[in-house]
A and B are shown apart, each in its own frame.
Chain A
Amino acid sequence: MLNCDDMAERLYPYLDRELSPEEMAAVKRHLQDCPPCRHWFVFEENILRYIGECGRKVRAPEELAARIRELRQS
């Protein structure tokens, strides 16, 4: 049985889906029973998602894409 003190070190591995299936299930069980930890994990998940969305808006310039295609032909 996990308690709240066990959750901090499992936060990111859980959100990254890098825990073992057993540990994933144990964290999930704790989150179902513990609203404060659940709020925290949801907060962190949403912040990470937003940072990812911001980062992925960056796109390579079209001129660079054209240069790389030329490089491929040569």
Chain B
Amino acid sequence: MAKDGVAPGNAGQLSEEAIGYLDALYRMALRLTGNTHDAEDLVQETYLRAFRSLHQFQPGTNLRAWLFRILMNAFINEYRRQARRPTNTSLDELDEFSLYHQMRANNSHQVSGQPEQEVVTRLTEERVLAALDELPIEFRQVVQLADIEGFTYREIAEVLGIPIGTVMSRLHRGRRRLQRLLAPSVCHSPSLCQGRSSLC
């Protein structure tokens, strides 16, 4: 057994545990690559690398974060260059859009109840996923890791190899941008915007 690694007897259990993260890794791969074929290849490559280097995994550390880090590295190495939508939007661009405040500005008396219920009924799963895919990749990664997979800021920083402050900033702007992308679907509702919004 390697001094700090996994005992051979534990490798089987660990690889089984790793397979338990298949859906989560596939979801991430699909959002990164944009198609099922490349997503499946990326996940397969991730597990190949993980099973090969399982002996290097530090017991007691975060297996899920370790697997996502492998996936991100594999993506950067093999798919990034041919990614379907290169970032062409400045990450420094001010993006403080708030769906709530937009709705409130358009129709203040309607926003005292539960506007989120109306938003939710207007947004299909397909529309939400399409909006996620429209985010610049730097935002998409953090939103997927935080909001779909429930990683903490520290874990996201570890997976992506960026400072926590950058995680927070990208997450904030990514969520705001996502709301801006979802707004036209939501504001299609006359009771929410009464046709006065420039977004409708």
Query: Which A positions have Cβ atoms within 8 angstroms of B?
Result: 12-13, 16, 18, 39-40, 42-44, 46-48, 50-52, 54-61, 64-65, 67-69, 71-72
Contacts and interface: CB of A to CB of B under 8 A. Distances in A.
B27 A56 contact: yes
B112 interface: yes
Interface of B: 15-16, 19, 22-23, 25-27, 30, 36, 40, 43-44, 47-48, 51, 99-101, 111-112, 115-117, 119-120, 123, 125, 128-129, 132, 143-144, 146-148, 150, 152-153, 168, 171-172, 175, 178-179
B178 A51 contact: yes
Q: When A and B form their complex, which 3 residue pairs have the shortest distance between CB atoms, in order from nearest?
A: A55-B148, A60-B26, A46-B116
A62 to B, nearest CB: 10
A42 B116 contact: yes
B128 to A, nearest CB: 4
Contact of B147 (A51, A67, A69): A51
A68 B42 CA distance: 12
A44 B175 CA distance: 10
A19 B160 CA distance: 21
Given A50-B123, A52-B147, 11 more contacts: A12-B171, A18-B153, A47-B179, A51-B143, A55-B27, A55-B129, A55-B132, A61-B26, A68-B19, A68-B44, A71-B48
A58 B26 contact: yes
Contacts of B116: 42-43, 46-47, 50
A16 B125 contact: no
B189 to A, nearest CB: 15
A68 B47 contact: yes
B122 to A, nearest CB: 11
A58 B147 contact: no
A12 B111 CA distance: 20
